[in-house]
Chains A and B, each alone.
Chain A
Amino acid sequence: MKTSALTCPSCAGTLKFKGSNILPCQYCGNNFLLISPDEVLRFYTETSIDRYKAILIARKKIFEDPAVDPDVRNRANIASVKLFYVPFVLYRGYRIGRVVKTQEIKTMLLLPMHRRETEIVCSDFSFVHPVSRFVQEGIEMMEIPLDTLALKVFEISELAKKAVVFNPDKPLEHYREIFRKDLLGLDPDMEVVEESTLLVYYPVWALNYVYKNDLFSVIIDGIPGEIISARAPYAGSFRVLSMLIFTLVAGVLSGSYCRLILSLFNSRIPGPVAGFMLIVLSGIGFFLVWFELLILAKVWNRFRFSGEVFFKKGMKEIRRISQPRETYLEKIAGKLTDYIYEMMLERANERSMISIMSIIQK
């Protein structure tokens, strides 16, 4: 908003815009109402954490996380810590009108009938959405408590001194149109009234660090100091440990199974009984191989591909680097699972057919 153009019509003194549409003249004492139909009011809010605190948060919440490689604590080099002001559009108003809905009602004859019913809508709405090229995961999910923030009138010259300020990537009318479409749909009897659009520049800290020649980033909310999103190298020790545990467990299970099979041949169990036991054990063996293969596919992926811990809105997720969509082991395990599923389904169908036939016969 070009506040510099606002001069008092009575005394020609400069009027200062302080966020309200009512402007008092500090020279002659008159009040004026500012009508700005096409203008969007712009505000910003001060960050409550400084550079030092942003690093501290990253160290405490990311570097010291048990899933993150412990070496990161000592060997990570902070490459940059920057404060960004990211614009968010706040669009609010009322959605009013009538919506005619068609409801299906079941009659006694089981023939569906349709009944039209009108719903009168009169509800307020509020959308907050990021509108810049500051594309970082988690930004779109941020919850901004605009009603509790201490908003200040946006002045680019002031803000650009202490932070990198992003501008909206598209005209705000573009976003308004999207919101309106969401709100109104195709209902001709609905409309949006008392709509107001506000642009709030929100502080976000972006911290980049280098670990083993890889660049990782941490995005921190500039008001409560919470992690918006972050990437960190995954702790490698778990990879080896899980492979070792699997090998041990699978070895013991398979060895015991083989020993059991061999004991059948060496024992003095009568032939027919031993044959029956062999059939049962073969079935168990089949499921054992399938189960071990499933686990092996997972453990192998963990062992073979290095990972990254991805933090987003209080959630943690391990992402494998350069892992194909499906490894050979996963393909084999998947096919075996499908085969078992189909086999069981076939059996179940057979059983149900038999029971239906027996009912019919009765």
Chain B
Amino acid sequence: MAEQNQKMYLIPLKCQNCGNQFSAGEKDVVFYCSNCRKAWEVKEGRLSECPVIVAKSAKVFSAAPVFLPFWQFRTNVSAGNAPAAIEVFSQKLVYAWVTGFFAAKVATIGDPGMVYTSRSLDIQEEEAGPVEIKISGCVRDRATAEKFATVFIMQTIDRRMDISEMDIEVKFLSGRLVGVPFFRMGDRLFDGLVGLQWPISFADSAIA
């Protein structure tokens, strides 16, 4: 359906499954249909479906959740030319995480994607309920997220031991978009997976 010319083209922002209009932010590249719970990514000039789940909160908060987009990858990490302990450690890094939204000031306050990656965090899926779930503000596509995921994995291993002499190979077995529940309490955001708190400003663009 893309109206394409040499340089620029237009893609209708409608769910390809149910025809529902997406509510999207200014720089979004992945769109979530809250009606049929499917996510759509722009690929080769058209919207193509990408796997998506909504994560179940592991912590209990009194506030209503806000779902922020993350990329979760199932990975196979091999560390050649490395000590046995590092080889074992790298094999345990099964999941890599990257924020899909624009997270501000991560250089100073830390990146939740990096935190989840270092813990190789797995999640449970939230069961479908009557409540409408919105996931918006995903400004990072899958291909870019994979590049960040590779860096996060290398960083996690490098924290254990310098990787200069190692041959680290990261294979992505699968990837999906995950709506991670965050809870707004005053000027802080608590994440529902590990219970860490972040200043509200770090996810301003996605929450707005």
Contact = CB atoms under 8 A, between A and B. Distances in A.
Chain A interface SS verdict (over half): strand
Given A96-B148, A98-B154, A123-B107, A36 B8 contact: yes
A36 B194 CA distance: 39
Interface string B132-143: 000000001000
Contacts of A121: 151
B21 A31 contact: yes
A6 B164 contact: no
Nearest to B26: A20
A22 B45 contact: no
Nearest to A191: B147
Interface stretch (A112-120, A215-223, A307-315): A112-120
A5 B7 CA distance: 11
Interface residues of B, number: 35
B76 interface: no
Interface in B104-128: 107, 111
Interface in A186-221: 191, 193-194
Interface in B135-193: 140, 144, 147-148, 151-152, 154-155, 158, 162-165
A97 interface: yes
Contacts of A122: 111, 148, 151-152, 155
Contacts of B45: 35
Contacts of B53: none
B10 A33 contact: yes
Contacts of A191: 147
Interface string B9-48: 1111110000001101111100000000000001001000
A100 B13 contact: no
B163 A21 contact: no
Contacts of B1: 9
Given A9-B1, A21-B27, A122-B155, A31 B140 contact: no
Given A32-B12, A193-B144, A100 B164 contact: yes
A342 to B, nearest CB: 50
A74 interface: no
Contact of A39 (B8, B11, B151, B155): B8
Nearest to B165: A116
Given A21-B26, A118-B164, A9 B10 contact: yes
A171 B5 CA distance: 22
Contacts of A38: 7
B107 A124 contact: yes
B8 A35 contact: yes
B164 A116 contact: yes
Given A96-B151, A118-B163, A122-B151, A32 B140 contact: no
A121 B144 CA distance: 15
Interface string A16-33: 000111110000001111
Contacts of A5: 5
Contact of B10 (A34, A39, A97): A34
Nearest to B25: A22
A36 B144 CA distance: 18
A148 interface: no
Question: Which 3 residue pairs are nearest across A and B when measured between Cβ atoms?
Answer: A36-B8, A20-B26, A116-B164
Interface of B: 1, 3, 5, 7-14, 21-22, 24-28, 42, 45, 107, 111, 140, 144, 147-148, 151-152, 154-155, 158, 162-165
Interface of A: 1, 5-6, 9-10, 15, 19-23, 30-39, 94, 96-98, 100, 116-118, 120-124, 191, 193-194
25 contacts: A9-B3, A9-B12, A15-B10, A20-B26, A22-B25, A23-B10, A31-B21, A33-B13, A33-B42, A34-B8, A34-B9, A35-B8, A35-B10, A35-B45, A36-B8, A37-B7, A118-B162, A118-B164, A120-B151, A120-B158, A122-B151, A122-B155, A124-B107, A193-B144, A194-B140
